[in-house]
Copies of this chain bind each other. A is one copy, B any other.
């Protein structure tokens, strides 16, 4: 049996989606615009530095949009593009798989 080829697009998508936190960030913003501090508070133990880095990557990839409102205090909101919202189908599948196969190990490392 021949080995399968890994499609370049598939490899590319995991260079982005395979990184830590990325999925959780998308999952949080999936339900609507979120402020930086909202995302930070919703995802346990993510550092500001990582959150900034991942958000920038997602923005560059055309998955996330960044809106700045120059108020005081400064307000920045993040929103998924259509490309990003299309990832909901993927996330739904992961959720379903997790519900089927994973015990509720709340504190796994």
Identify the A interface with B (CB < 8 A): 1, 3-15, 17-24, 27-28, 30-32, 34, 38, 41-44, 62, 83, 86-87, 89-90, 93-102, 104-106, 108-109
Each complex incorporates copies of this chain amounting to: 2
Q: Which residues on the B side are within 8 Å of A94 (C-beta)?
A: 10, 13-14, 17, 90
Can you list 21 A-B contacts with CB-CB less than 8 angstroms, sorted by A residue number?
A: A3-B34, A3-B38, A3-B42, A6-B27, A6-B28, A7-B95, A8-B104, A8-B105, A9-B99, A10-B24, A10-B95, A12-B102, A12-B106, A13-B94, A13-B97, A14-B24, A18-B23, A62-B101, A86-B97, A89-B93, A89-B97
Complex CA distance for A104 and B11, rounded to whole angstroms = 10
Complex CA distance for A106 and B30, rounded to whole angstroms = 28
Q: Which residues on the B side are within 8 Å of A22 (C-beta)?
A: 18
Please give me the 8 A-B residue pairs with the lowest Cβ-Cβ distance, nearest first. A9-B98, A13-B98, A90-B93, A8-B106, A9-B102, A3-B42, A83-B101, A4-B31
